[in-house]
């Protein structure tokens, strides 16, 4: 019986996912292009993913759906039991950092630069961006 469970997050930018995981100080292994990495679960169960996030005895897998989206999959009971991090906590923290990096990347792609960044007490981040236009 598999204990892997998919986490419902809309993730589309693998670069932003990797930066978010680095912000969370989590180590991960990325699959080479055209290949996958093994994600460990309960009682030796495994699955294949684009990224394998090391959570100790169990892993969190970032699974490429092949349609431009990625899912998080893990044995969340095992992750919480061994690391003390629930699925909801992991998802909230990753989603916050993912959104931050995704917005930064989108701003940079459109020629904007960050002028100011304010980290609020509630965990939100305010960014002031600017784009210089010359005629």
Q: What is the pLDDT of residue 54?
A: 95
- pTM of the entire predicted model: 0.84
* 3-class DSSP assignment, residue 122: coil
Does residue 7 have a pLDDT over 80?
no
- Per-residue pLDDT reduced to its tens digit, 58-111: 999 999 988 989 999 999 999 999 889 999 999 999 999 998 899 889 888 888
Supply the mean pLDDT for the chain. Answer: 87
Q: Whose structure tokens read 């210089």?
A: 132
Does residue 3 have a pLDDT over 90?
no
Q: How far is CA 93 from CA 9, 21, 56, 106, 119, in A?
A: 12, 9, 18, 20, 14
CA–CA dist 12, 68 (Å, integer): 6
Pairing label, strands 59-64, 28-30: unpaired
Does residue 2 have a pLDDT over 50?
no
Handedness of CA 84, 87, 89, 90 (dihedral sign): positive
With pLDDT > 90 as the criterion, what percentage of the chain qualifies? 53
Does residue 1 have a pLDDT over 50?
no
Instruction: Give Cα 61 to chain centroid, integer Å.
Output: 10
- Return the domain boundaries, the chain: 5-130
- DSSP letter for each residue of 77-101: HHHHHHHS--HHHHHHHHHHHHHHH
């Amino acid at each position: 019986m598999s204990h892997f469970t998919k986490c419902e997050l809309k993730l589309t930018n693998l670069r932003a996912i990797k930066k978010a995981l680095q912000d969370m100080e989590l180590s991960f292994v990325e699959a080479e292009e055209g290949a996958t990495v093994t994600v460990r679960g309960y009682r030796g169960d495994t699955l294949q993913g684009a990224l394998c996030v090391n959570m100790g005895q169990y892993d969190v897998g970032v699974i490429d759906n092949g349609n431009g989206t990625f899912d998080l999959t893990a044995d969340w009971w095992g992750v919480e039991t061994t690391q003390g991090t629930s699925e909801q906590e992991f998802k909230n923290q990753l989603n916050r950092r993912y959104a931050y990096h995704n917005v930064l990347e989108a701003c940079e792609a459109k020629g904007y630069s960050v002028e100011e960044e304010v980290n609020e007490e509630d965990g939100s981040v305010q960014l002031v961006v600017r784009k210089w236009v010359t005629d």
